[in-house]
Every structure is written in structure tokens, then in C-alpha cells.
Amino acid sequence: MKLSTPTQLKDIASIINAEYVGEPDFPVSGINEIHMVEPGDITFVDHPKYYDKALSSKADIIIINKKVDCPKGKALIFSDDPFSDYMKLVKKFRPFEAASKPISNSAIIGEGTVVQPGAFIGNHVKIGKNCLIHANVSIYDHCEIGDNVIIHSGTVIGADAFYFQKRKDKTLKFESCGRVIIKDNVEIGACCTIDKGVSGDTVIDEYTKFDNHIQIGHDTYIGKRCLFASAVLVAGVTRIEDDVILWGQVVINKDLVIGKGAQILAISAVDKNMEGNKTYFGAPAIEVRQKWREMVAIKQLPDLIKKVKLLSKQMAERK
Amino acid sequence: MKLSTPTQLKDIASIINAEYVGEPDFPVSGINEIHMVEPGDITFVDHPKYYDKALSSKADIIIINKKVDCPKGKALIFSDDPFSDYMKLVKKFRPFEAASKPISNSAIIGEGTVVQPGAFIGNHVKIGKNCLIHANVSIYDHCEIGDNVIIHSGTVIGADAFYFQKRKDKTLKFESCGRVIIKDNVEIGACCTIDKGVSGDTVIDEYTKFDNHIQIGHDTYIGKRCLFASAVLVAGVTRIEDDVILWGQVVINKDLVIGKGAQILAISAVDKNMEGNKTYFGAPAIEVRQKWREMVAIKQLPDLIKKVKLLSKQMAERK
Amino acid sequence: MKLSTPTQLKDIASIINAEYVGEPDFPVSGINEIHMVEPGDITFVDHPKYYDKALSSKADIIIINKKVDCPKGKALIFSDDPFSDYMKLVKKFRPFEAASKPISNSAIIGEGTVVQPGAFIGNHVKIGKNCLIHANVSIYDHCEIGDNVIIHSGTVIGADAFYFQKRKDKTLKFESCGRVIIKDNVEIGACCTIDKGVSGDTVIDEYTKFDNHIQIGHDTYIGKRCLFASAVLVAGVTRIEDDVILWGQVVINKDLVIGKGAQILAISAVDKNMEGNKTYFGAPAIEVRQKWREMVAIKQLPDLIKKVKLLSKQMAERK
């Protein structure tokens, strides 16, 4: 997330009441979790295993729970609980704003766009021209929708990422401050859910069309002209390139790349990267021809067992 | 879709500004895609592969992109882009009408029916007597609901068919003008989606009961007294006969027939027609006993591999 | 369900206009289906197969369709149709109350709780402090939500159990009178459905977090600190203990117990009880290592078939 106003290191340290190393006016331009950091960003690290990764990342300000040396050109903030302090910053810079009406006054809605009754349009939402937002759609704060977009009833755009830390006695919520960006000419079916990014954006690119009951996790990118049939699930931080077709109930795991033009047949489950322009099937999904060979082999299995029994008997008789 | 006013060939040709062959006053009574045509209908064809099918179909008026001979008793309309011109007609005869309030003035709602807060009832919707439409249900324009029907919250009746043409640079939407018809004594769970027909009707017949998260595709027929457990997906243009039971997360592919009294066990995926009064399981689903034999055989597989290794060794030793 | 006012045997018999055996002022404190009965409850039985079970259950008042001897300390009500008479009592003591506004006057909402536009809060609902109920959530009558609970848009809490009796010509609805109880610090994703108990409660315990599109059946108990990824289905009357993790699209059958700390990998289907602190995978789910062995064996199957063919040939040549 980019900060909307100029902010300095001393402002940040004062919000979380912490010591820091660096110039007080060191500029801070964004706040991002470690997987999404860019120059100018604050991030946090609370486990020795990830210290090096955080200190050598693109982030310029690191909240850390050990007094390490400050990398050149960067700043450090020391905290006993970097996770909680980072969450404090997220809440400070992207506070939840309760809605006083179904369509926020701070939402910008383009010419020709129709918003049907019962739709909720949150604060700072932008919707382009000639869109059709059907009844009982919910669009959370800060999301952006392009032109000529259709969103069917019951669909939820921008709910929080499913991102928790499990502790002994409780589960801690990682507050999301990202957005959902839906580009021009997209159509989203009924009862779909597209989660906001944890600190970045979840993006659905141009001319992509979704059937109903589809789930898109946080920080996922869906390319252009994709077609997803009903009940497709795509987990977080996955990248699906242009022209991918996913049939009904396909599940795609997190952190994967599905290549341009790939097609994945119904009820498949994908657990690794898939090259483009090929067709896959199965759980786990493999190239469809290979899967069919496996399925034919399984059909032969009962006969095979009989055959091996016979061979064992024959072998024994000849001893 | 039946046209609500008497229409003639010359009216149609004038809407899409096209040449035609046939009497100017040739009567037009409906508009349907090729799979659903009836006498009196307009349809369209834009690929030489389907010319014969369209010209010999029950449709009486064919929009076509080649100057062919007109079949006896029919009429032809010539168009460079039959798809787009057909879509123009769909939009003309079934225009989208933005709602000005949650329950349209043109909706007819029977005696004793309760509509809870937040429910959306579109234009020209008909709902029978003694129904209970729970909070935040969305019923799109033109749908019809019988008597004693219960629809739970979050459910969407009549969203558009998932029906697109993929072109090089975009995806084209096939506009739906069909309806959803729900007969008497049906109960639909929460967060279900039942799509309207592309040009015909999607029908849920009497006494059928759905659990939550169910998806029914366009132009599908669901028979009487069916029971569908949660997260069942039925794709488009499928026919499910009376008394069929589908357990949780069952997927049924498009264009199939599932026979009366069939039962399909949880997490199965059906890709071909199924005879009635039998029980099926698996993905792809087969008769349950056959599937169990397969599953038992798979359990024996690791042992079988060892046995074959041993046999190979014994065979080699006796050479 | 506990009755809210003191009730006696003669009151019950008079509602359903039936003969009874027992003191007229025999106290009645609750109404429950046979699986949930406690002392003081009425229940019903209509099939000889279950007479003994009902008569020896904890229920003190049994509606029965045969003139049997009354067990000591209990009461009997005779009815030609115990099912229908029991339903009459359910409707009498837990009548459906149509809502006149989105947030019922009889709902109790704690300090600091935010209810976003379009959310429906039914009659007699209790919501604790500092909750966030997002837009277009639906909470049915009598449900109870603890403190610090977040419920995302499109979610439905307390819809009816999917519980029907199939008869020759119709399907009969078993009316639900139970509740959903959500404890403190729970978060429920978008487009989830949690059904009320048939006569008892469906419970989601403290610090449990759900992703989107999750379905929880009636009378199910979900323990503390569980994490469920998207599209998880849990059928009715199942008990999931503390700290269980269910990954995407996992299905759990009804009437099961999943032990504390169990983890079930994505797309698995569970059809029997699972011991805690282990990891499972597959459909049906088994311990993950065993499943992997099976999957490796299947990969070897095409080769195995070739090997057996060769062995058969060699054996034949040596005859």
C-alpha cells in the first residue's frame, strides 16, 4: 500500500512508540508485507530465520525485534513485537471506516453505470463507465472497477485476506490493507468472492469472465480473456496468465504460475506451476493424455491382480 | 423466448437494418438459440459447419452470413455478423430495465408470501402464494416462483448464463433472455445460484429441495422431489429427472440426462448420461459397486508391485 | 430447544389434540429430536424400529403412534402422525416471525459493534461487543454472536437445516428450531453458510477463522482456533475438535469426530472419524504418508502392466 501523505521515519516511530536508527526525516512512502515490498516501504520481521531476507529486501524501513546493524541507506525500528506494531501502522494508515449508507459519498461512479438496489459500495471505491452492479453485491472500501464491468448478485469484492498466525491460545489476524482492481470488460458471476491483497492488489484483467461461486485469494493476478467456470478456487499470490480456461470446481494452490493459454479440465487440483498452451487434468493435475493413460491402467487393475495371482500359482507349481 | 407482441419479418429486418428473403409480413413469434428453437422462432448461424443444422431446424427465420437458397415455408435474413445482430434483437425484445426500488412495481406477489428485508425482486417477477423469500435473496427480472416456495438468504435466481464466445482479443457475451421457473413446494438453500436460460427456461420442479451453495446452469431442468446436498454443481442444458439424489459437492457436466431415481454419492463427477434407479460414485462416476472394486484394487497395488518384483526375480533365476 | 415458559403435559396434548398417559401437570421443559434429547424434553417416534430407542432415551415425553406401556417416570402422547404433530409443536413454540425492518427491535447489539448497510439481523438475535458485521450479511432469528467477531459480506448465519423426509409424492420438511452460536474472536469469511441446529445448536468456538464459501451443517460443533480454508464443507452433527486445520475444498461427512490438532489437506473427503494430531489426505482421506505411497504406486501402474504381460509371456514359453 502506498501512503497518501508524505510521512517520515520519526512519524512512524512515534505512532508505535519505538526507538529507531536513521534520519528522523527519512522518507516513508509505503507499507508492505515482505513478499510485496518496494523501495520506500516499511516492512517487519520477527523471526531470526527471516532477518537476512528482510534486511536485504527492497524495503527501506524494517521493524525488527533485534538490535542489528542498520544496512546502508536504510532505517530500522526496534520493537518487541514487530507483528503487532506493523498491524498498528496498517490500522493507522488504512483505518476501517464504518459506512453510513449503502453507497458511500466518497465513492466515484462513472457515467452510465447502473447500481441495483441492495448493492453496497464502500468508501473510496471507484467504478468506471457503463457498468452493471447487480442487487446485493458488496464492494469493500478502496476497490477499483473499470468500464463495462458486470458484477452479479451476491458477489463480494474486497473482503479481507485469509491470513492468520496461529499461536498457542489464539489466532492472530494479519490486517489487510490492499485492494481489488477489476479492469475493463470483466464479468463476475453471482456469489463470487475476490479478496483484497494483504498489502498489495488482487487484479482481474480485461475481458476475463467468471461464472458463479468463484473464489480468488489475496494478491492473486488473473490475466486477460480468462474464462473460469463455476466454483473455481484460486488461492493467494498466484499468477494466472492470459487466455487461461479453468473448468468447473478447479482448485489452484497458492504461489503458483499458470502459463498463458493453459486449459485445466473440471475438478482438477493444481499444486505446481503449469506451462502454457497445454491441457491438464487430475488431482494433482498433469497433462491430460498422461492422466488418461493412468485412468485406463486403473481400469485394468482388477484383471491385473488376477493375472499376478495366476502367475504366482504357476511359479509355485514349477518349483 | 416468446415475443409478447405480434411481430413480422420486416420489423426484425428493420431493427438490424438487413436484407431478407420472405414475405414482409411473415410472422415471428419467438427468438431462440439453435438448441432451443421452435416453429415461429428466429435463430442465427454464422459458421458454414452449422448452416444445414440451422436451415433444417424448427426455426422459421434464420439470420445467416451467406446468401443461400431459402428453405420452403421459411425466411432468411442476411447479415455480415449474425451473432451481433441476434444479440441486438435479444436486447431489443428483452431490454435490461434498471430497478428503482428493491421490489419492482411490476412484480406480482401472491397472498401470504413473506419477503424479508434486503431481498430484491426484479421487474415482471411472479411469486405465488405462501412463499418465504429470506433476507438478501436476489431474483432477477422475469423469473417465476410457484406457491409454498422457500428461498434462503444470499441466493441468486436468474443471473445470466455463463455463455461467451472467445475471440482473439476479447470475449463476447451471449446475452441471455431466458428465465428461471421454480415450481410449487420447492426449497432452495442459502447462497445458491440458479442461472436463467440463454433463450429458454431453467426449471426446478415441484417438491425439490436444495441445500446451500448449489449452482444450476442455464437451460437445465431439475425434476420433482430431487434432493441436492450442499455445493452440488449442475452445468447448463442438463436434464435431471424426478427423485434424483445428489450428495455433497457432486458435479454434473452439461448436456446430460440423469435418469429418474438415480443417486450419486458425494464428491462424484458425472460426465455421461446415467440410467435411473442406480447408485453411482467416483470421478468419473460409475456404478458404486464397480467403483468399490476399483478402490479395493488400488489398496492392493503396493503389495502387487512387490509381488511382481518377486516373480520377475524368480523368473530370472530360473532362466 | 428449551421452552421459555413453564409448560405441562396437558398443554402439549391440547395443542396437538391428542390422548396422553401421565399426570396432566407433568412438566415439559424442552423439545428435541431423538439425537439431542435431554431430561424434560418431548420427542417423537413413528417407526417400530425406533420405539425402544425413544422410550429408553433421556426424553420424558414421547409422541408415539402405538399404544405401548408408559415407562416409569415418563409420559406418552398418542398420535397417528407423530412427525406432523411434533412439527406442529415446533411451529407453535418457535414460530416464524416476519421481519419488519433490517435490524429487528428485539435484537441486542453490543457496544462498539458495527453493522454495515444491507446486513439483516433477525428477531431475538444477540451480538456481543466490538463486532464487525459486513454489508449484506444475513443473521436469522435467535442466533447468538460473541464479542470481537467479524462476519464478511454475503454470509448467512442460521438458515434452516437440510433435513427432509422423502415420501412417495412429496418431500416433507423437518422444521428447524435450533440456533447458531458463534463464540468470541471468531472470523467468518464471505459467502459462508452456517445452518442452525434442527433442535439444538450449531456452535463455532473461540478464535476459529473461516475463509470464504464455507458450509457448516446443522448441529455441528467446530472447536477453538480451527482454521478452515475456502469452500470447506462440513455436514451435520459432526464434531471438529480444537486446533483442526482444513485446507481448501475439504468435505467432512456427517456424524463424525475429527480429533484435536488434526490437519486435512486440500480437496480431501473424510468419511470416518479421524484421530487428532495427524495429517490426512485423499478421498477417502487416509494418513498422508500412506496416501503418497498409493499415489506413487499408481504412477508405476502402466509399467507394472507391461511387466506382467512380459512375465505371462515368459511363463507361457516355458510350459
- The answer to whether the CB atoms of A160 and C150 lie below 8 A apart is yes
Check: CB of residue B233 under 8 Å from CB of residue A250.
no
Chain B residues whose C-beta is within 8 A of a chain C C-beta are 114, 116-118, 132, 134-136, 150, 152-154, 185, 187, 189-191, 207-209, 211-213, 225, 227, 229-231, 243, 248-249, 266-267, 298-299, 301-302, 304-305, 308, 311-312, 315, 318
Average pLDDT on C62-84 reads: 96
Evaluate whether B203 touches B222 at the Cβ level (below 8 Å): yes
Residues of A with Cβ-Cβ distance to B163 under 8 angstroms: none
pLDDT digits (tens, 9 = 90+) for B288-312: 999 999 999 999 998 999 999 999 9
Give C118's contacts in chain A (Cβ within 8 Å). Answer: 102, 118, 120, 136, 138
The grid coordinates listed for C168 are: 412417495
Contact A117, A201 (CB under 8 A): no
C218 catalytic residue (yes or no): yes
Minimum Cα–Cα distance from B161: chain A residue: A211
- Diameter of chain B by CA atoms? 90
- The answer to whether C231 and B231 are in contact (CB under 8 A) is yes
Tell me which residue in C138, C301, C304 faces B154 most closely, judged by beta carbons: C138
Residues of C in contact with A304 (CB under 8 A): 304-305, 308
Among A134, A152, A213, A218, the one annotated catalytic:
A218
What is the overall mean pLDDT for chain C?
96
Model confidence at C316, pLDDT cuts 50, 70, 90, reads confident
Instruction: Give dist(CA A285, CA C280) in Å, integer.
Output: 19
Q: What angle in degrees, to the nearest 10, is found between the helix axes of A288-299 and A301-317?
A: 50
The structure's pTM equals 0.96
Residues 6+ apart with CB under 8 A from B244: B223, B226, B258, B259, B260, B261, B262, B263, B264, B276
Within 8 A of B307 by CB-CB distance, chain A residues are: 308, 312
Facing B193 at nearest CB: one of A213, A243, A248: A213
Neighbours of chain C (3+ CB pairs under 8 A): A, B
pLDDT of residue A52: 95
Confidence of residue C319 (pLDDT cuts 50, 70, 90): low
Q: Rounded mean pLDDT of A104-126?
A: 98
Q: Reply yes or no on whether the pLDDT at B107 is more than 90.
A: yes
Kindly identify which residue of chain A lies nearest to residue C224, measuring between CA atoms: A170
CB pairs under 8 A between A and C: 143
Query: Among A99, A170, A192, whose Cβ lies nearest the Cβ of C116?
Result: A99
Q: Element (H or E) spanning A251, and its range?
A: strand A251-252
Which domains does chain A carry? 2-93 (3.40.1390.10), 108-291 (2.160.10.10)
pLDDT 10s digits, B184-193: 999 999 999 9
Looking at chain C, which residue has its C-alpha nearest residue B300?
C294
**C-alpha pair distances (Å), A14 with each of A8, A70, C302:** 10, 19, 66
* Residue in A closest to B122 by C-alpha: A135
Q: Does the distance separating the beta carbons of A302 and B307 come in below 8 Å?
A: no
What integer is the mean pLDDT of A248-260? 98
Cβ-based neighbours of C84, under 8 Å, separated by 6 or more: none
Name the band, by pLDDT with cuts 50, 70 and 90, for residue B243.
very high
Question: Which residues of B are catalytically annotated?
Answer: 218
The answer on pLDDT for A57 being more than 90 is yes
pLDDT of residue B167: 86
CB contact under 8 A, B164 and A209: yes
* Residue whose cell numbers read 451467406: B66
Q: What angle do CA B145, B240, A279 make, to 5 degrees?
A: 115
Whether residue B232 is predicted with pLDDT greater than 90 in this model: the reply is yes
Query: Which of A192, A202, A251, A287 has the highest number of chain C CBs within 10 A, making it the mutation to test binding with C?
Result: A251
CA distance linking residue C179 with residue C188, whole number of Å: 17
Query: Does residue C200 register a pLDDT over 90?
Result: yes
Q: What is the pLDDT of residue B319?
A: 62
Is B191 close to C156, i.e. CB distance below 8 A? yes
Pick from A140-154, B100-114, B220-234, C157-171: least confident: C157-171
